[in-house]
């Protein structure tokens, strides 16, 4: 065992660690939501030597992750996105009891001539499953399907490890000897396990004291840095709160307190090595529970804490883990601890309030913005106009149009030259395609540089994805996200489909979940006029900045002009749809009122004679009067009668002043 060690973060991405080969990651692994990014950490051990170890992180919160807490992991897409956003050395896969995979970790596999050592050669040849180089290039990882005959095991002297749960493997996908598919380990796996670990290989998979396998490379977390409550830290440090933990005679019971502390530390995802180190530190009050029993022998005290407390807590924790599928854990001591992940920090609020716009009130510099509209809804015309304005502000604007027709290509080419827009028409360039654009974007992501003055507009996003597989489209999206992290502004123009959502709003047409992954999602709602012009209004659906509602007018010649005020196109659309639905009732009510004013009861009777229900008629009477109406259209006026407060209705005429 090692004693206390210091931890120091090394540069997030050491230059010797290669980027994962994304396309070679087995699909069998990608399907499991057990992925974490990792950072390199330098551990200073008791003898003064230093070693770089790998610390997993939550891809969604960017906080340290535990290999025992599912809510700390993410999908393969999550980890790819986190990696491409920067700050991590690599990605890793967490093994659990619920998946069919076993990991074999082999160190220092190659001799001076570059040949595999004999035991490694045997493992590679007999398992014939997915095999990759480790991040250092000196070791190998083999992942196969199967079940170990005993617990996970580490033989550090021989450089051999096997695990099936509770550990994560870094994944490089730097495949060796063409072994890129995960296959069943079969009898070969059991034979290797038995030959390598001999009698120490337990056939009992249950948790026992023998399962304490101290990992010298595990990062040691101090009490102050553990994600446990202040109450528990005070209990460990000074014994504050011991009155809550009493034996049958009413005396303070350190063992009870120790059990409660271990429960919370395990729940917080603290590793075993850190828990045992803290709970046997004689400078801390609660450590006396073990130290007093073992005569100041730290190693013996650790064994006592493990055997009589921590092992039992872990056994209980593992037994209960499958009963809960929640993405977020809740601590009994701090049941609202989870809300921090949803609260906006001061820095985030400053960013929202002080965003730098490159298109006033609409497009924020460095954001990924999805703009969605129906076909022929004016999005290309508007954004070509805005692209010209961005060029005038000093930005380099690249407009990638994969949706232009042959007849429109020439005028757009001329306008681009006039406005200084870099127009790309990949489908019309001989020998080029959208796939080539995607490859160059990937190279931009890998290159050094600040992209804060670059704006890319993709028209349309669906056309881009149509020429790619679904998996490749996701990779492109993650590349775009990584480019925005370098300052680039990216605008994706997309179509709505012909259907509407339950809320009556347009629905994005496509398979990629734009709303979750973009910074802003903005709908464009057109309203066409009889003279061939149209007005187009924005409808922000998701925002991370103070986005304005804007209306433009597009004339018959495609000239764009910003409206001085916002026009609520969506409300007008809904109003027209409502009037169309009510038209048969409206016609009967107007038919009766043309004969003269009428009471509500008279209108109900007249309409009932024509087969219309009282319920529909009553709603329409209210909806289109100047009182209690839910839409702006007023078709008749309501007044109070002289007797019994009866409501009297008459048609609106040109001399009536109808409130707006």
pLDDT tens for each residue of 152-210: 888 877 889 999 988 899 999 999 999 999 999 888 898 898 888 874 443 333 333 34
Instruction: Find the mean pLDDT for residues 557-574.
Output: 90
**Confidence tier at 393 by pLDDT (50, 70, 90):** very high
State the pTM of this model: 0.52
Residue 86: the pLDDT is 83
CA angle 422, 423, 425 (to 5 degrees): 145
DSSP string, 163-217: ESSSEEEEE---BSTT--S--B-HHHHHHHHHHHHGGGS-S--S--GGG----TT
Residue 497: the pLDDT is 73
**Confidence tier at 1 by pLDDT (50, 70, 90):** very low
How many Å apart are CA 231 and CA 154, to the nearest integer? Answer: 36
Residue 208: the pLDDT is 39
* In the predicted structure, residue 320 carries a pLDDT above the cut 50: no
CA angle 545, 546, 548 (to 5 degrees): 125
For residues 505 and 381, which has the higher predicted lDDT (pLDDT)? 381
Instruction: Find the mean pLDDT for residues 398-409.
Output: 84
Instruction: Find the mean pLDDT for residues 419-436.
Output: 88
Q: Are 173 and 181 in contact (CB under 8 A)?
A: no
* In the predicted structure, residue 117 carries a pLDDT above the cut 80: yes
How many Å apart are CA 260 and CA 228, to the nearest integer? Answer: 11
How many Å apart are CA 119 and CA 177, to the nearest integer? Answer: 16
Judging by beta carbons within 10 Å of its beta carbon (0-12, 13-18, 19+), is residue 79 exposed, middle or buried? buried
CA angle 560, 561, 567 (to 5 degrees): 115
**Pairing of the two strands 489-500 and 368-373:** parallel
What do you get for the CA distance between the two ends of the chain, in Å?
Answer: 80
* In the predicted structure, residue 503 carries a pLDDT above the cut 60: yes
Listed range (39-43, 305-309, 317-321) with the worst mean pLDDT: 317-321
Query: How are the residues of the chain apportioned to helix, strand and coil, as percentages rounded to the nearest 5?
Result: 35, 20, 40
Residue 30: the pLDDT is 92
How many Å apart are CA 499 and CA 484, to the nearest integer? Answer: 31
Structure tokens belonging to residue 554: 């597009």
* H, E, C per residue of 298-351: HHHHHHHHHHHHHHHHHHHHHHHHCCCCCCCCCCCCCCCHHHHHHCCCHHHHHH
Q: Are 207 and 315 in contact (CB under 8 A)?
A: yes
Give residue-wise pLDDT tens across range 200-250: 443 333 333 345 667 777 788 889 888 778 888 989 998 888 888 876 667
Residue 390: the pLDDT is 96
Residue corresponding to tokens 């764009």: 560
Give residue-wise pLDDT tens across range 459-469: 888 777 665 55
Q: Count other Cβ atoms within 10 Å, centred on residue 429.
A: 11
* In the predicted structure, residue 327 carries a pLDDT above the cut 80: no
Residue 658: the pLDDT is 65
- Taken in order 28, 31, 37, 43, is the CA torsion positive or negative? negative
Instruction: Find the mean pLDDT for residues 518-528.
Output: 92
Structure tokens belonging to residue 539: 């409808």
Structure tokens belonging to residue 659: 């409130």
How many Å apart are CA 143 and CA 163, to the nearest integer? Answer: 10
Task: Determine the 3-state secondary structure of 153 from DSSP.
Answer: strand
Cβ within 8 Å of residue 468, ≥6 positions away: 434, 435, 438, 476
Q: Are 550 and 562 in contact (CB under 8 A)?
A: yes
The chain-wide mean pLDDT, for the chain, equals 82
Residue 257: the pLDDT is 87
Task: Determine the 3-state secondary structure of 459 from DSSP.
Answer: strand
Query: Which residues are 457's β-sheet partners?
Result: 399, 491
Nearest to 213 by CA among 275, 148, 141, 152: 152
What is the separation of C-alpha 649 from the centre of its chain, rounded to a whole number of angstroms? 56
**Confidence tier at 436 by pLDDT (50, 70, 90):** confident
Query: Beta strands of 460-559 (E only): which ranges?
Result: 489-500, 506-508, 520-528, 534-542, 551-554
């Amino acid at each position: 065992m090692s004693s206390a060690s210091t931890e120091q973060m090394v540069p997030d991405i050491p230059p010797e660690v290669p980027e994962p080969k994304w396309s070679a990651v087995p699909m069998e692994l990608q399907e499991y939501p057990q992925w974490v990014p990792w950072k390199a950490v330098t551990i200073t051990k008791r003898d003064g030597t230093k070693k770089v170890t790998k610390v997993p992180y939550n891809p969604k919160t960017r906080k340290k992750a535990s290999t025992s807490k599912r809510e700390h992991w993410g999908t393969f897409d999550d980890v790819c996105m986190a990696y491409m956003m920067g700050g991590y050395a690599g990605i890793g896969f967490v093994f659990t009891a619920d998946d069919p995979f076993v990991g074999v970790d082999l160190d220092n596999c190659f001799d001076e001539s570059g040949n595999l050592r004999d035991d490694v050669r045997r493992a590679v040849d007999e398992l014939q499953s997915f095999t990759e180089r480790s991040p250092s290039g000196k070791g190998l990882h083999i992942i196969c399907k199967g079940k170990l005959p005993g617990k996970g095991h580490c033989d550090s002297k021989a450089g051999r490890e096997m695990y099936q749960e509770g550990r994560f493997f870094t994944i490089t996908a730097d495949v060796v000897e063409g072994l890129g598919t995960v296959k069943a380990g079969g009898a070969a796996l059991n034979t290797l396990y038995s030959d390598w670990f001999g009698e120490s290989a337990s056939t009992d998979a249950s948790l026992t004291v023998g399962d304490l396998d101290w990992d010298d490379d595990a990062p040691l977390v101090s009490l102050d840095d553990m994600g446990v409550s202040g109450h528990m830290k005070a209990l460990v440090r000074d014994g504050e709160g011991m009155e809550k933990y009493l034996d049958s005679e009413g005396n303070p019971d350190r063992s009870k307190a120790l059990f409660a502390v271990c429960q919370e530390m395990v729940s917080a995802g603290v590793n075993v090595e850190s828990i045992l180190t803290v709970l046997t530190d004689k400078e801390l009050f609660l450590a006396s529970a073990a130290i007093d029993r073992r005569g100041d022998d730290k190693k013996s005290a650790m064994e006592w804490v493990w055997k009589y407390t921590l092992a039992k807590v872990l056994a209980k924790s593992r037994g209960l883990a499958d009963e809960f599928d929640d993405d977020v854990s809740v601590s009994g001591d701090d049941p609202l601890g989870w809300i921090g992940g949803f609260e906006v920090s001061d820095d985030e609020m400053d960013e929202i309030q002080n965003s730098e716009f490159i298109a006033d009130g609409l497009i924020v510099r460095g954001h990924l913005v999805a703009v969605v509209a129906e076909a022929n809804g004016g999005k290309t015309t508007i954004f070509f106009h805005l692209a010209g304005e961005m060029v005038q502000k000093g930005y380099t604007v690249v407009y990638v149009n994969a949706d232009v027709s042959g007849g429109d290509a020439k005028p757009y080419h001329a306008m681009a030259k006039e406005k200084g827009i870099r127009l790309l028409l990949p489908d019309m360039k001989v020998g080029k395609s959208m796939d080539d654009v995607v490859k160059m974007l990937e190279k931009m992501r890998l290159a050094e540089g600040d992209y804060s003055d670059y704006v890319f507009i993709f028209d349309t996003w669906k056309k881009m994805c149509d020429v790619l597989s679904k998996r490749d489209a996701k990779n492109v999206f993650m590349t775009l996200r990584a480019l925005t992290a370098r300052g680039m502004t990216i605008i994706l123009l997309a179509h709505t489909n012909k259907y509407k959502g339950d809320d009556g709003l347009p629905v994005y047409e496509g398979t990629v979940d734009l709303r979750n992954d973009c910074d802003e999602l903005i709908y464009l709602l057109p309203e066409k006029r009889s003279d061939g012009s149209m007005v187009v209004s924005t409808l922000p659906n998701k925002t991370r900045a103070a986005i304005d509602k804007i209306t433009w007018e597009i004339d018959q010649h495609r000239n764009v002009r910003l409206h001085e005020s916002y026009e609520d196109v969506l409300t007008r659309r809904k109003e027209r749809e409502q009037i169309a639905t009510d038209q048969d009732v409206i016609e009967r009510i107007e038919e009766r009122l043309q004969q003269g004013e009428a009471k509500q009861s008279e209108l109900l009777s007249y309409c009932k004679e024509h087969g219309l229900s009282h319920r529909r008629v009553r709603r329409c009477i209210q909806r289109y009067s100047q009182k209690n109406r839910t839409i702006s259209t007023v078709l008749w006026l309501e007044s109070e009668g002289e007797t019994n407060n009866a409501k009297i209705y008459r048609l609106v005429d040109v001399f009536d002043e109808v409130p707006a």
